[in-house]
């Protein structure tokens, strides 16, 4: 049991040695192996990899521990294995590599070179994490423990100064805690960017007995997975931050609303809550402060709209997840009509650090109006996909070209999507713009929860707008007419455009529908649903016009505008298309020009997407 701050610091003294050794700050001579047990790597069999490593270590009679950690971020190169404290970074480790890593590195002390990461720029192998460009420009606060500690171990969390932010907070007056958050400039990471401290103030000003604190982990943006990775990699940071928040506003109970699609995150968070309770960090009289607080998990059930705070509240109450009119805002009248604070996972994840290091420290990172860092799920057509954390104000170019390693397969950059289905696209002209809440909004996109999808010249912008609208049609809850009907009608027009049935005047109709839906919808879902349409219309109007006037999709994505695929004389006879064609309708000898038998072709476009020489054209 940890009854007070002295107990906590005593426990920290015991646990910290192991963690300092792991980070290389204090060397005890003990090696450890860390394996990514995040979602991405688990789907590449990293759990079995851990077993293989453990049994190989046992066979060699070594006393070395293997830990499954949260996401390292570099999902593209997974599964990732690190040997600490050497910080040796092995990537794309297969099950049979386990034995070789153990024999070479752990028994003989020689780095197993075959699985080292190769820097694509220098073509040289690098040994340690620090030498990898993907990590160089990152500043990790929310993700600092992800890929470093075993998420299921509260000892490891405490060993990295865990729960000390709580200890700091409990020694202050609740108002002083709110002031620290206010001064830090922290803004909500869920997408809106509302100042967190101010939100807390509203709830604190309500002098009633029952209040609630909620965590929004209903990560809906398809293409974003930072909340999931934080819950899987560092669940205690959320528990700690929610206790701090509850103390600040005077709540005694909290709920974390997590997507049911995230079973691993749910399981690890559940373990974290139970262990915290066992040690007395949840429950009565936390750290001898006289403050009582406890929390539990509630599962979502697959409704995007539940990421909207009032819909989330309705869902916890056992209702259909439909938004309510605001005001009253949840800070005044939320869950079961009590004042309620809802913050996003990533927002909570930085709060313990702010309490420990102070608001000035946080404020100095990022830009004046958007302090701190932001986690992005970098995906799409860049070389290095994965989870990154960067200071606010970094340019898109740095993210895409330095961290992301540039465009995959040497293709041409076309656009980057931020903010998911609620956001928009940014073009080449915006690559040197700083990424922060306000600037992205000015440019017609938004920060959103942090999905960042890079597109190349083989992606059609009209098709992307239709893809997002399709998502919104399905996810609109149906409560208010503008969103329910507006999204469907916008989808119809977009579908007409991509199938060659639209007229030029439809573009005006589309724009006016988009603006009406934006202005008149009840909640954030409908108010932002037209964004992808409006921003693609702004920046890629030519593509819309080409579809309508010339029945031509520049990226050759829209199937109805394609009659057939043909192979041109750029073909080198590399055979990639023929080998992968699902109907085997491409014939040709090696190093000779190939031919498509159009009768058997199902127009799947696989050959077109795959051809490294741009030899395949559409007619």
Partner 1 sequence: MIKLKITLEQIESLDKRMEKHSEKPGPLMPTLHDAQKIIGCIPNEIQELISNKLKVPIAKINGVVTFYAQFSLVPKGKNVVGVCLGTACYVKGAQAILDKVGSTLKIKSGETSEDGEFTLEATRCIGACGLAPVMSINEEVYGKLNVSKTIEALKEHEGVTLND
Interface with partner 1 (CB under 8 A): 39-40, 42-44, 74-76, 78, 219-225, 228-229, 260-262, 298-304, 315-321, 336, 377, 379-381, 385-387, 417, 420-421, 451, 453, 455, 459, 464, 467-468, 471, 477, 579-582, 604-606, 609-610
Q: How many residues are there in the chain?
A: 619
Which residue lies nearer to partner 1 by CB, 420 or 530? 420
Least distance to partner 1, CB of residue 313, Å? 10
- Nearest approach in angstroms of CB 397 to partner 1 is 20
Q: How far is the CB of 75 from partner 1 (least distance, A)?
A: 2
- Minimum CB distance to partner 1 smaller for 354 or for 464: 464
Question: At its nearest, how many Å lie between partner 1 and the CB of residue 232?
Answer: 9
**CA dist 605 → 104, 562, 583, 618 (Å):** 44, 10, 12, 10
Nearer to partner 1, 229 or 536 (CB): 229
Q: What is the CA radius of gyration of the chain?
A: 26
The total of other beta-carbon atoms located within 10 Å of residue 285's CB is: 12
Give the integer Cα–Cα distance in Å for 401 and 126: 19
When the beta carbons of 434 and 605 are compared against partner 1, the nearer one is 605
Supply the DSSP string of 435-500, one letter for each residue: -SHHHHHHTT---TTSEEEEEETTS-HHHHHHHHHHHHHHH--SSSHHHHHHHHHHHHHHHHHHTT
Q: State in angstroms the smallest separation of the CB of 316 from partner 1.
A: 5
| Rounded Cα gap, residues 137 and 402, in angstroms | 8
Give the integer Cα–Cα distance in Å for 47 and 162.
26
Query: How many CB atoms are located within 10 Å of the residue 348 CB?
Result: 27
Q: Which is nearer to partner 1, 204 or 387 (CB)?
A: 387
DSSP alpha helix (H) spans, 309-428: 309-316, 345-357, 359-363, 396-397
Minimum CB distance to partner 1, residue 509 (Å): 26
Least Å distance, CB 299 to partner 1, is: 6
CB of 418 to partner 1, least distance (A): 11
Cis previous bond, 601, omega within 30: no
In the complex with partner 1, which residue's Cβ is closer, 320 or 591?
320
Terminal-residue alpha carbon distance, the chain = 72
C-alpha distances in Å from residue 104, one per residue of 21, 94, 98, 402, 436: 21, 15, 10, 32, 45
- Nearer to partner 1 by Cβ, of 86 and 560: the residue is 560
Q: Closer to partner 1 at the Cβ: 203 or 316?
A: 316
Rounded distance between C-alpha atoms, residue 29 and residue 86, angstroms: 10
């Amino acid at each position: 049991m940890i009854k007070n701050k002295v107990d906590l610091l005593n426990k920290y003294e015991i646990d910290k040695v192991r963690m300092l050794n792991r980070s290389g700050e204090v060397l005890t001579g003990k090696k450890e192996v860390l394996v990514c047990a995040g979602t991405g790597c688990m789907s590449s069999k990293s759990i079995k990899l851990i077993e293989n490593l453990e049994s190989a270590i046992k066979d060699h009679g070594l006393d070395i521990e293997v830990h499954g950690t949260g996401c390292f971020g570099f999902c593209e190169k997974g599964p990732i294995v690190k040997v600490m404290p050497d910080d040796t970074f092995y990537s794309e480790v297969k099950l049979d590599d386990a034995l070789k890593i153990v024999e070479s590195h752990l028994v003989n002390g020689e780095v197993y070179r075959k699985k080292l990461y190769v820097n694509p720029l220098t073509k040289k192998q690098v040994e340690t994490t620090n030498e990898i460009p993907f990590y160089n420009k990152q500043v990790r606060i929310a993700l600092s423990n992800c890929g470093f500690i075993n998420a299921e171990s509260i000892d490891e969390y405490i060993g990295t100064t865990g729960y000390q932010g709580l200890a700091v907070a409990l020694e202050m007056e609740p108002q002083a805690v709110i002031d620290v958050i206010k001064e830090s400039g922290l803004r909500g990471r869920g997408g809106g960017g509302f100042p967190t401290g101010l939100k807390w103030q509203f709830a604190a000003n309500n002098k009633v007995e029952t209040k609630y604190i909620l965590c929004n982990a209903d990560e809906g943006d398809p293409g974003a997975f930072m909340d999931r990775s934080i819950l899987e990699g560092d669940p205690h940071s959320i528990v700690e931050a929610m206790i701090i928040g509850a103390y600040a506003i005077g709540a005694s109970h909290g709920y974390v609303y997590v997507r049911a699609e995230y079973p691993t995150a749910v399981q690890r968070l559940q373990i974290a809550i139970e262990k915290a309770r066992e040690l007395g960090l949840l429950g009565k009289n936390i750290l001898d402060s006289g403050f009582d607080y406890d929390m539990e998990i509630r599962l979502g059930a697959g409704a995007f709209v539940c990421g909207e705070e009032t819909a989330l509240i309705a869902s916890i109450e056992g209702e259909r997840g439909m938004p309510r009119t605001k005001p009253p805002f949840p800070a005044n009248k939320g869950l079961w009509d009590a004042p309620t604070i809802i913050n996003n996972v990533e927002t909570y994840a930085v709060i313990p650090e702010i309490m420990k290091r102070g608001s000035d420290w946080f404020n100095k990172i990022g830009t004046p109006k958007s302090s701190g860092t932001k986690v992005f799920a970098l995906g799409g057509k860049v070389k290095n996909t994965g989870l990154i954390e960067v200071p606010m104000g970094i340019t898109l170019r740095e993210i895409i070209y330095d961290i992301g390693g540039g465009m995959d397969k040497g293709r041409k950059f076309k656009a980057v999507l931020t903010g998911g289905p609620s956001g928009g696209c940014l073009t080449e002209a915006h690559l040197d713009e700083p990424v922060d809440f306000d600037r992205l909004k000015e440019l017609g996109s938004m920060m959103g929860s942090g999905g960042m999808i890079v597109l190349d010249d083989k992606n059609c912008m009209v098709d992307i707008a239709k893809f997002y609208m399709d998502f919104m049609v399905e996810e609109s809850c149906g409560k208010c007419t503008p969103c329910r009907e507006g999204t469907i009608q916008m989808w119809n027009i977009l579908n007409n455009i991509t199938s060659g049935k639209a007229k030029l005047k439809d573009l005006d109709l589309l724009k006016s529908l988009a603006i009406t839906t934006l202005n008149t919808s009840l909640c954030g879902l409908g108010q932002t649903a037209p964004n992808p349409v409006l921003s693609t219309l702004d920046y890629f109007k030519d593509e819309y016009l080409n579809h309508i006037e010339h029945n031509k999709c520049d990226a050759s994505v829209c199937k109805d505008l394609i009659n057939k695929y043909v192979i041109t004389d750029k073909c080198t006879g590399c055979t990639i298309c023929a080998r992968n064609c699902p109907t085997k309708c491409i014939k040709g000898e090696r190093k000779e020009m190939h031919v498509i038998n159009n009768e058997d072709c199902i127009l799947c476009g696989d050959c077109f997407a795959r051809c490294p020489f741009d030899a395949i054209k559409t007619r």
